[in-house]
Structure 1
Amino acid sequence: MKTKIHVIAHTHWDYEWYFTSSESFIQLCYHIDEVIKALEDGVLDYYMLDGQMSIVEDYLEVHPDKQQILQSLIAAGKLKVGPWYTQSDQMIIRGESLVRNLQLGIESGDALGGADRLGYIPDAFGQSMDMPKIFSQFAIDKAVFWRGLSSDQLNTREFYWQSEDGSNLLTYNIKDGYFVGVQLIEVDYAKPLLEQIKQNTTSSHIALPVGGDQRYVDFNLKERIAHYNEQLTDDHFIESNYDHLFAGIEKEAKDLPTVQGELLNAEVSKIHRSIYSSRYDHKYLNDKIERRLIFQIEPLMSLADQLGIPYKQALIDKIWKLTLRNHAHDSAGGCNSDKTNQAILQRFIEADQLSYSVVDYLTRKISESRNNVKNNQVTIFNTLPIIREQVITIALSLPETSFSIYHGEQKLDYDIRNITKHSNAPIRKTIDPAPASYYYEIEIALPVKLQPLGYEVLDIVLEEDRMETVPASEKQEVTPNTIENEYYQVQVKNGSVHVLDKESNTLYPNFLLVEDAGDDGDNYDYSQPENDWKLQFKFDTASVSSNPGTWKSTLKLNGNFVVPKNQHEREQGTATALIPYTCTIGLEAHKQAVDIHLKINNQAMDHRMRLLINGGVNTEESIADTPFGTISRPVTDPNFKHWLEKGWKEEPTGIYPMLSFVQLHDQQKSVTAFTKGIKEYEIIGSKEKDIALTLFRAVGYLGKPDLKRRPGVASGNQFKYIETPDSQLLKSLTFKVSVRIGRTCNQACAFADYQKYAMSIPYYQQQSLNQFTNTLKYFVMQPLPFQVPETYSLVDATNVKQVVFSSCKKARQSKGMILRFFNPTNQAMEDGGELTCKENVRFWQFTTMEEKLDKSNQRSSQTIHLGSFKPKEVKTIYIEFK
């Protein structure tokens, strides 16, 4: 049987990199013109536009006259587009973002004749363990990727890629890269190329992708195929596409191996396992925007839709598209030129402002349209479908500082955290001797119990004596530099932060340390300098102040870290750079977590700072969250010892990605670190292990050659040093971490704890004293022509069992609502619990991430039983209300 070499013409279109998307857009306009001409004239039979629709969307924006010809080429199967909107990173991007990416890409591709149903990932820096089940839910059963698979995992190119829930993809690994076929055009001899691409193949059908980064159309492809075929007897080159390749592989019906787990090894290609801390400022903003879109805007708009405020899908898509363009693998990694990173940052700022304003508008619109509006009332919104019973912090604008708070008939106790007096008089150049009017901005902490997916109202009553609702016997005595709740005592003593776990009576001395080390790397990778000088900081130079309270208590530490200003100083063993910091450590009543809020002003270059959490856990593995589950990773990679002699492209370091949390546990204790924006961790220590969270890396080049951890040519552009002074991050940075110490480890509870910690509670106060509580407050607003209920709750998922809430939004193509849950563990679950709908249900049914409905599977009960879950299974529910 002759071997068939499937020659696949394509381009890999990095959305941006050392160039901006605006710069590459000019080439894109002419490139797609060439593609159209080549396909229309029969110069090419097929062409692949990199599996992403954002570039097609950009092209059609200025070439709307080409839509019909593109549509005919796509419908005929000649031009392959989609299924992605952008070629997304998978390691630090949330699962729901990946879902929106595919939803937008497939919808856009289908509208133009049919998105390619191929899980095409030519250049992402590693493959998430969850991709098979995500692709499968979009009716994608085949995949192609390049990076991450090593020979100790699998030594063949054709295999089944499987998620723990049983989702299977027939997969082809282009281990030589998406550019390997350029040799067909540029080299005259077939034998070396055939030897390369045949290695580790089991099928007689072999892929030869002919394309490269922003590569032009090879108009002589047919001629070059004929030239190669003249040299061959046992092999035959054919112009083809991945549909034909997989059809050939399937026809042979070979018994192919199966691979599970993440693919994050750098044996055949670089993987950049420390890119997760490059351009931390971008990652912090991205995390905030993702959280707001998924856990605030989409649920809030769904809630508003039920109340009569139309769901604006196009508006949400606008914000998603801005964000998804920053999820392209280079964009998300931050491995770009400064001018490109400036464009990325601007998109983040725009998405942040848009998303923030959506929340502001809807909370105000609903609040001011209630049927019993009173001055100073506060409407509080719970955008999670579970009861939230926790302490919240809100800011009130009031004419005086004496007031009481009522939740219905219940009078609530609260802590006053801060009071600021403001003038309400118009500003003038000269001081008006007339008495000015004033108001007070008062920050308070108070306990609330909020019904799921809805809103409730607090009444603020002025000129009333405040009632203490907590007996004095239950209050803690105030000790200098010490705060505590029922779970922990936190004390700053001699500059060290000590935490006492009251439940187990275990003391964690030096619980928090800050490590500063040199970084000889680039925007892709951390690399330890040859002559490094690592520093560890307690907080012994800090001034400490405490703000104790019944419901929330904080310690504030202000000081300076003194570090080497640059690599030269580090090599000399001198340190002259002052990095000012404020570290606020907080405890809340009834919350089993220590909250840490660190602000620094970075004034040093070429260094890495990490927060060390002294967990002292006896373990050899960590657990971190993934797009739709959790993963257990070894503290020391099994390939670490011999990677150099085996010729790996980079060190298989113990540095790993995370989305929201990392967890250590043994038989005696469990330590979990939740983060907002920090995406990288390493487990350190000999016997007892601690968590090292990478705060940020400050480096000055896009790519550098011959790094200690990554030998060989530079990543990125191999022929020129591209300076990136902005990536030194000489500016203020904010880091937010919450640490839970306990005896047990429960992964579903970890997700629930994270959501309560990280998803802020929107609120709106009915008042006219302060027109600047948010940007939109200054504008007048018309209430709805009808009144909405005084309080409201739409869906209650409080009784789900050990599964994780993932999404609540309106269905894209139908008028119902989507709710999604997943099992985060490797264990099957017999009963996931139930949802209760508060509005009358027309029907509900299980669906997929693609949200297609099956009329034969519809039910009409108010209670929705989730049923059993396979290991790591994701379930999506469609609900249509009457």
Structure 2
Amino acid sequence: MTNKKTAHIISHTHWDREWYMPYEYHHLLLIELMDKLLDTLDQDPEYRYFHLDGQTIIREDYLQVRPEQRERLDHYIREGRIHFGPWYVLQDEFLTSGEANLRNLLIGQMDAKPFGIISKTGYFPDSFGNMGQAPQILQQAGITNAIFGRGVKPTGFNNTVSEMDTYESPYSEMIWRSPDGSEVLGVLFANWYCNGMEVPADPEAAKAYWDKNLADAEKFASTSHLLFMNGCDHQPIQTDLSQAIQTASGLYPDVEFVHSNFDQYLKALEDNLPANLVTIEGELRSQHTDGWGTLVNTASSRVYLKQMNQAGQTLLEKVAEPLAAFAELAGLQAYPHHLLTYAWKTLMQNHPHDSICGCSVDEVHREMVTRFAKSSQMAEAIAAQSVAALAEAIDVVGVEAWGPESVPFTVFNTSGWSRSGTVTVELITAKKYFPEGPTPQSLARELGQAPLGALQVMDEEGKVYSAKLEDLGVHFGYELPKDRFRQPYMARKVRVTFPATDVAALGYRTYALVANAPDAAEAGLDTVQVQGNTMENAKLSVTVADNGTVTVTDKVSGAVYVGLNAYENTGDIGNEYVYRQPEGSDALTTEGLQAEISLIEQSPSRVVIETVLQWEVPASADETFLEEKREMVPFTERRAKRSAQMVPLVLTTRYTLEAGSGMLQVRTSFNNHAKDQRLRALFPTGLAADHHYADSIFEVARRSNKPAAEWVNPSNAQHQQVFVSVADGVNGLAIANKGLNEYEVLLDGKNTIAVTLLRSSSELGDWGVFETPEAQCLGAQTVEYAIIPYTGDGAVSGAYAQAYQYQIPWTVVQTQGPAARIAAVNGRQHAGGVTLPVSGQWLSWNSDASPLAFSTLKFAEETGDLVARWYNLGAEPAELKVQPSFEVEAVYESDVLERRVSKLGTDEQQAEGHKIITQVYQLEK
């Protein structure tokens, strides 16, 4: 270090939109802060910069109440005195999907672009751990740095260690590398993002303040440029900062005190970095700590939020966006960028770390439920309009096998892989509009008395599929035409459940409900048989044991997995952030219980076996826990036990095996009466391995089963997105989930995968006493997950693709029957004359035995290009060969911001190991 030091003082406020107070309470304080900031910028030219916490939503929130301040605020953003972006919100990276992380960055960049200045600071000040692919994502967005507050433990010059490990750095500055090799300069808030807050202007106080804070910063800094963050959580701005800087400059002539910004600070760093910076790789999850401060148990706090988030994310990125893209490609309707952005923004307002992590007061999370519903309703409406336009354009007239009275319907596969599975759809076999009868009641009676006849499901080749048909009777419905008033009707409905097979990736297949086709040939598909408590298809054999667990045999490899899906219950005297089991208490399990077992559904395409377990668990923690919370006893020092009072916990589990499937689906329901507890499902793999794989953000992360030597927390719970798997190099077992983001691989000699189904806590935790009774999650609960055995590589074998598809719902819609279709064609009423084949596909790629995972299909707003994205799950290069079925002017390699980077000369592109690959297609006009 040179003798001359520079103290970079960066003014900011870390703005949690909602946390220990409801949103509007924080909102009021934000309005006051922004008013004061604008006044200070007006009045004090020495108050040069303010960092707006890396999130553009602050501008939206402020102008919602103060629209008259738009010109004044925007002036300072354009001038560069207020630093704006690059994110829309400061999200939790591990609890939001890969695409949600990218939409957050993309929408933040779009919000900032009109101002001509977009912050290029990769800002993660308070993320509860950092995703391993962040450097690659940032580099693709043109950001060469990452500023973060957690995940790495620095040692500092006065606390050096004898052996350097890949997750430790002697400095607050380091190189951070993604699995693909992308690197950024990483800067850790080693003294947190408040080490320059409330700088004294009084000389005596300033001397004591700077003596300590300068020494603390120098302990970790690799250069003479020292970072001081002038602000903290919801911190009002310091209006006398200019005077305080003058005071400090007079006291320390060998230090240059600068009211700085991240651009200036990072430039100074880059010009002075030493050659011995440590390179840290991949995920930053604080694994080289004692394990109590990782905050990973926020992945299981308020599980219902995670379930709603998973459903909402999937609905947007894997259903609404691809269906809207299909409709645009077919020339049926314009891609609704504005509606999708609104839906994404509404969803992302639930993605800040204190929101999606479930670690706020109850009022915050009640409002989140409404936001989830609003976003999903918009996504559902977009999907419904898109699919209605597509269905109207599908030409079913030429299918001779169906006949004029058939009821066609189309199954859409919006996943990136060919798909088979059991689907259910409600079809209208006859309907009458209100003007067709004297009353709705008379129409209902007329429709209800008409015989349905013998109905069968048939494909376009005339082959019949075994189907379960349920007469639902007569129901009210309505249509909302674009050119006239609503059209109410009464309709006779039938629910159809059947096996859809080989529906093309990013495509569709049309079937029909046909009457009186006795001579039609059977499709000859795999079926599910059941004998006693054993169900079996061509790939799996599943036996339900007396205690409700299952033995799953992989018929391809012969591997047998015994005792899967026992339940474990333990006490929890932690909080919304951290799980802590009471000392001396043992885990309870259902292994010794007797289950009630019954056959719920049996058809050639699907068998469902139900188990019911009558269990009792402690009602709560004991009275000591109440005292310890009131007195703010740290959770690691609590001595509370579990209550002696017991309450019932009745677990109803449905095991579903479908024809042709290599996956056993599990749905467990219960009414929770217990507090201060954790409930997990256990899957002893019996596979010898010292590591496992967890689906994360654009990667399947390889993680050690055994924590680092520094780890003392008895729990080693971790984050997952879609699945976790253990493999021994020959066989593997993956557990997929829907919104269950926490798991642990137990060091029990069996490498048991434990998936958290519920965690009940009663306080926020952190810096005060905040009661959160609704975090106990009392009442009815339902969780869904799946068991997937496989052989070889999880990606290449298709096991991971099954897991990804498990989260994506089928989209099934009734099309117009031939008679109605002919009338529509003759009347030129359908889709402007556009005609689609009975079955089709918009984009195909070499998905078989590929290590690539498909991520998204959408349109870019700025260029109008079609966007498709994949990522390589493996370390070795892989070929990507794409065949669009639409006319393309040119194909470009793109980036996470959907820009054209370089033109591709062929339909093949090499995906380097762990690379995120985005292609954009310039369509012919």
Deviations 1:453-477 (A, max 9, x none): 23332121123448673779x8676
Q: Does 1:737 align with 2:785?
A: yes
Letter in 1 for 2:178: S
Match of 2:831 in 1: 784
Match of 2:278 in 1: 257
1:253/1:194 Cα in 2 relative to 1: closer, same or farther (>3 Å)?
closer
Structure 1: distance between partners of 2:868 and 2:730: 36
Structure 2: distance between partners of 1:254 and 1:596: 54
Letter in 2 for 1:291: T
Deviations 1:592-637 (A, max 9, x none): 1211111222121111000001211212211101111121111121
Q: 1:581 aligns with which of 651, 659, 674?
A: 651
Contact 2:409–2:815 (8 Å) recurs in 1: yes
1:805/1:401 Cα in 2 relative to 1: closer, same or farther (>3 Å)?
farther
Q: 1:101 aligns with which of 101, 104, 114?
A: 104
Return structure 1 stretches of 4+ with deviation > 6 angstroms.
Answer: none
Structure 1: distance between partners of 2:617 and 2:641: 12
Match of 1:169 in 2: 184
Structure 2: distance between partners of 1:859 and 1:196: 51
Q: Does 1:299 align with 2:344?
A: no
What displacement does 1:743 show?
3.1
Contact 1:802–1:832 (8 Å) recurs in 2: no
Deviations 1:363-414 (A, max 9, x none): 2232134344775210221223443344434444546372122221231322
Match of 1:274 in 2: 297
TM-score (norm 1): 0.89
Structure 1: distance between partners of 2:419 and 2:553: 27
Partner SS, residue 818 of structure 1: strand
Match of 2:457 in 1: 405
Contact 1:619–1:688 (8 Å) recurs in 2: no
Letter in 2 for 1:170: L
Q: 1:617 aligns with which of 678, 684, 687?
A: 687
Q: 1:601 aligns with which of 671, 678, 681?
A: 671
Computed over aligned residues only, the root mean square deviation of the Cα atoms, in angstroms, reads: 2.6
Q: How does 1:600-679 map to 2 (within 5 A)?
A: 600-641=670-711, 643=712, 651=713, 653-679=715-741
Q: How does 1:229-244 map to 2 (within 5 A)?
A: 229-244=249-264
Structure 1: distance between partners of 2:731 and 2:234: 52
What displacement does 1:580 show?
3.1
Partner SS, residue 377 of structure 1: strand
What displacement does 1:86 show?
0.2
Contact 2:121–2:143 (8 Å) recurs in 1: yes
Deviations 1:499-527 (A, max 9, x none): 23333434333222011111111111111
Structure 2: distance between partners of 1:206 and 1:425: 69
Q: 1:853 aligns with which of 900, 909, 912?
A: 900
Q: How does 1:416-815 map to 2 (within 5 A)?
A: 416=468, 419=470, 421-424=472-475, 439=492, 441-465=494-518, 469=522, 478-496=530-548, 497-538=550-591, 540-568=594-622, 571=641, 574=644, 576-641=646-711, 643=712, 651=713, 653-703=715-765, 715=766, 717-718=767-768, 721-747=769-795, 749-766=798-815, 784-791=831-838, 792-799=840-847, 801-815=850-864
Deviations 1:466-504 (A, max 9, x none): 8673779x8676411221112222122323422233334
Deviations 1:349-370 (A, max 9, x none): 2112222222223222321343
Contact 2:422–2:658 (8 Å) recurs in 1: yes
Contact 1:60–1:67 (8 Å) recurs in 2: yes
Q: Does 1:62 align with 2:65?
A: yes
What displacement does 1:533 show?
4.3
What displacement does 1:53 show?
0.4
Letter in 2 for 1:699: S
Q: Does 1:195 align with 2:215?
A: yes
Q: Does 1:843 align with 2:846?
A: no
Deviations 1:180-228 (A, max 9, x none): 1125238531211111111121101111001011111101111112222
Moved more, 731-740 or 120-129: 731-740
Structure 2: distance between partners of 1:401 and 1:277: 50
Match of 2:384 in 1: 360
Deviations 1:163-185 (A, max 9, x none): 12221111211111111112523
What displacement does 1:756 show?
2.5
Structure 2: distance between partners of 1:837 and 1:253: 47
Contact 1:523–1:727 (8 Å) recurs in 2: yes
What displacement does 1:75 show?
2.4
Partner SS, residue 510 of structure 1: strand
Q: 1:876 aligns with which of 914, 918, 921?
A: 918
Match of 1:16 in 2: 18
What displacement does 1:22 show?
1.7
Contact 1:640–1:652 (8 Å) recurs in 2: no
Letter in 1 for 2:777: L
Question: How many pairs are equivalent?
Answer: 829
Structure 2: distance between partners of 1:439 and 1:872: 52
1:750/1:208 Cα in 2 relative to 1: closer, same or farther (>3 Å)?
farther
Letter in 2 for 1:562: E
1:74/1:744 Cα in 2 relative to 1: closer, same or farther (>3 Å)?
same
1:5/1:572 Cα in 2 relative to 1: closer, same or farther (>3 Å)?
closer
Moved more, 518-527 or 794-803: 794-803
Contact 1:403–1:466 (8 Å) recurs in 2: no
Moved more, 268-277 or 505-514: 268-277
Structure 2: distance between partners of 1:205 and 1:23: 37
Structure 2: distance between partners of 1:526 and 1:401: 58
Match of 2:409 in 1: 378
Structure 2: distance between partners of 1:415 and 1:616: 38
Q: Does 1:215 align with 2:235?
A: yes
What displacement does 1:575 show?
5.4
Structure 2: distance between partners of 1:824 and 1:4: 43
Structure 2: distance between partners of 1:106 and 1:493: 54
Q: Percent identity?
A: 25
Contact 1:637–1:653 (8 Å) recurs in 2: no
Contact 1:412–1:446 (8 Å) recurs in 2: no
1:506/1:107 Cα in 2 relative to 1: closer, same or farther (>3 Å)?
closer
Structure 1: distance between partners of 2:249 and 2:79: 27
Structure 2: distance between partners of 1:875 and 1:369: 32
Letter in 1 for 2:608: T
1:54/1:18 Cα in 2 relative to 1: closer, same or farther (>3 Å)?
same
Contact 1:533–1:573 (8 Å) recurs in 2: no
Structure 1: distance between partners of 2:889 and 2:542: 52
Q: Does 1:414 align with 2:472?
A: no
TM-score (norm 2): 0.85
Structure 2: distance between partners of 1:568 and 1:542: 32
1:401/1:695 Cα in 2 relative to 1: closer, same or farther (>3 Å)?
farther
Moved more, 608-617 or 354-363: 354-363
Q: 1:7 aligns with which of 4, 9, 18?
A: 9
1:859/1:251 Cα in 2 relative to 1: closer, same or farther (>3 Å)?
closer
Letter in 1 for 2:621: Q
Structure 1: distance between partners of 2:800 and 2:563: 27
Letter in 2 for 1:858: K
1:443/1:612 Cα in 2 relative to 1: closer, same or farther (>3 Å)?
farther
Match of 1:48 in 2: 51
1:161/1:376 Cα in 2 relative to 1: closer, same or farther (>3 Å)?
same
